[in-house]
Amino acid sequence: MNRWLLRILFILAALMFFPFSSPAPLIYRYGEGWTYEKPGTPTGWYKDRAKDQLDVAQKAFDKGDYSLALKSAQRVLTAWPLSDYAPQSQYLVGRCYEAKKQDEKAFKAYQDILNKYPKSANFQEVQQRQLVIANRFLAGQRFKIWGILPLFPSMDKTADMFDKIVKTGPYSDVAPQAQMGIGAAREKQKDYEAAVKAYEAAADRYNDQREVAADALFKAGMVYNKQAKTAEYDQSISGQAINTFNDFAALYPEDSRVPQLQQIITSLKAEQARGNFETAKFYENNKKWDGALIYYNEVLIKDPESPMADQARQRIDTIKKRK
């Protein structure tokens, strides 16, 4: 036992007397704390000027050494946060995270550029990169815990990404697509009310962009249509869908989707009639004759040519005779 203790003490003493011959993956620097130096890291990467440090970051990025590029760019931001080289360093941080498949961190790094350096020359490019990242999450990419373990897709987080893009530049080149992305994320989440609001906001805010406004209004109507199918007795949703589709047909009569919408309107009116007929039967079965008459008459108003309208007329005659 004493022999092993002596060996351990001898090794420790050797390390103390010969520190430069042993690997040193952890380096302490005053004002920066401890940093990990990956084996094989170039010895001259640590610079005393912001420009030189950014050069190291850019060259490492160009060579595909994203870990060294990230560390060098972050050092510029830590040591010289107000320098002229900080915006480009922040941009490289985002590019490195994106290259390392850490999209959440990349999106945040890009957002920091837009918040801290709104006059940055690559403002539009950064927003475009954010849009691409958000679209990946919209398509089902999983968010990660601690930036490592993929857990689950989240339309809440995805909608928040699109929302940040819109709020940062509401009239930028990518803002209309981002606003539509909010609607798409909420629609996937089955939050139909929020989806309609997002689409209607796009149609209103970007009404001067005909293609965007038309697509937004169309999708708002389709979401209302989805809602209507889940609302057994809430006929107001069907009415909102019909009104939206009629607005679409009036504003964009040449659009190829108009015939499709006319078919949906016919179907919605039939569904409204069916709902009113069921409600009328409920009142009739409970001997609430006035209520039954109101809803049977609604059937005649919503779909006067349908077989259900003939049944409604018969029930109206029967109730009137009974009264």
Phi and psi at residue 262, to the nearest 5°: -65, -40
User: Which pair of structure tokens corresponds to residue 221?
Assistant: 């109507």
Express each pLDDT in 225-261 by its tens digit: 998 877 555 678 889 999 999 999 999 999 999 999 9
pTM of the complete model: 0.79
In the three-class reduction of DSSP (H, G, I as helix; E, B as strand; rest coil), residue 284 is classed as helix
Phi and psi at residue 111, to the nearest 5°: -65, -35
Strand partners, 150: 144
Under the banding of pLDDT at 50, 70 and 90, the label for residue 144 is confident
Express each pLDDT in 280-320 by its tens digit: 999 989 999 999 999 999 888 877 877 788 888 999 999 88
The distance of Cα 67 from the centroid of its chain, to the nearest Å, equals 28
Q: Which residue has the tokens 């937004």?
A: 216
Parse the chain into domains and list their residue ranges.
Answer: 16-100, 273-323
- Look at domain 16-100 and name its CATH class: mainly alpha
